[in-house]
């Protein structure tokens, strides 16, 4: 906590001093550009599980409001975030709220400083310091957990640059600000996080190398070092656009992790689209070291992977193999702009031990209604050797200014 406060104090000093400096120079330079923004999402979520917990019903509304000041290559941004529980028949994960005999919906009521950052950009190079949103492409390794109402952010310094076909991205973070909010004992996890990524665009193939060292102060079982490479390509083939990607990574314990382990990660995916219809199939393996420990991605936006039902937010010690296929369609309906639908089927198995975990069907439908984005989602997990039967449904509306 002390390190987070120190970093925010430094950022605040930059934020408070920059406008004053800009005012002094306003006579001889351009005026400060002021950009306010508001992002509001209202969501209904229901959860039914085959266990002792009661069915959950949650109606929440989240608002983010912020202000960005820009002058030349400098900018500062401050943003607050608040979530209200309008219908709270759900376990919001906050111990101080007492016993809530319902399934978990991880959207607790909350009000917090979501972002406070200072930026400098010169050409293709930028540096950001402070509490910030960090999303690496795909968010498989580092993300903001954007599906939940309370966003995950980081107290960090990040530098990015581009030289010809090469992109470099380096971050040093001292705190992971979680989705559980200010009232939670899991409000933040401090540590030393070194997040490095480099991309080279070789058209039509892009190759990425990455290194993630996550050394927690208290969440020791998730302290790890990961090194990997990814290749992806977008290949036009007549009317069909083909997309392919493959990844490999290796992970081992680091710092004070009490478990000595090593595990591998493998992912392959092939898809194509034509006339708004898409089809893709893939296989993802988060390996296990003989059942001792599984490959973990604790900074990722996990809801986007391994099923919307969120049964695999932490990889089981026996690992995880996810075989999936997705069909999607974008419709051109004038009265319903942006209409899209997708259905995904998952088969989940262990990496060691030959365990059939279960299967899942996910569906999503989205469209625009005036200025509002409307989304409906459904997930049904059929348990076999892991977890319990789980059914979830979401309906949400969002608007941004």
Question: What domains, with CATH codes, occur in the chain?
Answer: 224-401 (2.40.160.10)
If we measure between CA atoms, which residue out of 32, 288, 322, 81 comes closest to residue 180? 81
pLDDT at 236: 84
pLDDT at 237: 84
Distance (Å, whole) CA 399 – CA 401: 7
If we measure between CA atoms, which residue out of 167, 168, 170 comes closest to residue 128? 170
**Nearby residues of 228 by Cβ (< 8 Å), 6 or more positions away:** 209, 210, 247, 248, 249, 250, 265
DSSP code, position 350 = -
pLDDT at 28: 41
Distance (Å, whole) CA 280 – CA 286: 20
In 287-371, beta strands by DSSP E: 320-330, 340-349, 356-369
224-237 and 205-216: which strand pairing? antiparallel
DSSP code, position 349 = E
DSSP code, position 298 = T
- Are 228 and 250 within 8 A, CB to CB? yes
Scan for tokens 């092939």, then name that residue: 270
CA 192 to chain centroid, in Å, comes to 19
- Other CB atoms within a 10 A radius of the CB of residue 355 amount to 18
pTM of the model: 0.92
- Ordered mean pLDDT values, 10 residues apiece, the chain (401 residues): 65 55 46 96 98 96 98 97 97 95 97 98 97 97 97 98 98 98 96 98 96 98 98 90 96 98 98 94 98 98 97 98 98 93 98 98 97 97 97 98 93
Burial level of 362, CB count in 10 A (0-12/13-18/19+)?
A: buried
Distance (Å, whole) CA 312 – CA 320: 8
If we measure between CA atoms, which residue out of 213, 215, 245, 214 comes closest to residue 229? 245
pLDDT at 238: 84
Burial level of 252, CB count in 10 A (0-12/13-18/19+)?
A: middle
If we measure between CA atoms, which residue out of 274, 294, 278 comes closest to residue 286? 294
């Amino acid at each position: 906590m002390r390190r987070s406060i120190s970093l925010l104090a430094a950022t605040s000093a930059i934020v408070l001093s920059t406008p004053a400096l800009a005012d002094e120079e306003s006579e001889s330079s351009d005026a400060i550009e002021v950009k306010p923004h508001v992002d509001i999402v209202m969501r209904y979520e229901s959860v039914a599980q085959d266990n002792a917990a009661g069915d959950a019903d949650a109606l929440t509304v989240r608002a983010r409001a912020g202000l960005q000041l820009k002058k030349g290559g400098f900018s500062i941004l401050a943003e607050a975030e608040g979530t209200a529980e309008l219908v709270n028949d759900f376990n919001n994960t906050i111990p101080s709220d007492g016993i809530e005999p319902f399934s978990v919906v991880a959207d607790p009521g909350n009000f917090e400083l979501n972002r406070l950052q200072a930026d400098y950009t010169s050409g293709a190079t930028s540096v950001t310091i402070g509490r910030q949103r960090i999303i690496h492409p795909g968010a498989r390794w580092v993300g903001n957990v954007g599906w939940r109402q309370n966003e995950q952010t980081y107290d960090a310094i990040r530098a990015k640059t581009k030289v010809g076909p090469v992109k470099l991205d380096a971050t040093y973070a001292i705190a992971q600000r979680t989705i559980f909010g200010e009232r939670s004992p899991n409000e933040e996890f401090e540590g030393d996080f070194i997040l490095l990524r480099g991309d080279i665009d070789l058209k039509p193939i892009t190759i990425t190398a990455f290194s993630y060292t996550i050394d927690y102060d208290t969440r020791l079982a998730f302290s790890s070092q990961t090194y990997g490479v990814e290749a992806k390509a977008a290949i036009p083939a007549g009317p069909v656009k083909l997309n392919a990607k493959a990844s490999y990574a290796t992970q081992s314990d680091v710092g004070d992790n009490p478990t000595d382990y090593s595990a591998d990660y493998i992912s392959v995916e092939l898809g194509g689209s034509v006339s708004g219809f898409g089809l893709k199939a893939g296989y993802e393996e988060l390996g296990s070291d003989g059942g001792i420990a599984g490959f973990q991605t604790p900074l990722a936006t996990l809801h986007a992977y391994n099923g919307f039902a969120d049964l695999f937010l932490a990889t089981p010690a026996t690992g995880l193999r996810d075989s999936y296929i997705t069909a999607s369609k974008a419709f051109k309906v004038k009265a319903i702009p942006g209409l899209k639908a997708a259905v995904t089927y998952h088969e989940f198995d262990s990496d060691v031990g030959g365990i059939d975990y279960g299967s899942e069907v996910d569906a999503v439908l989205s469209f625009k209604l005036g200025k509002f984005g409307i989304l409906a989602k459904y997930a049904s997990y059929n348990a076999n050797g892991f977890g319990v039967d789980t059914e979830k449904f979401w309906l949400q509306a969002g608007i941004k200014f």
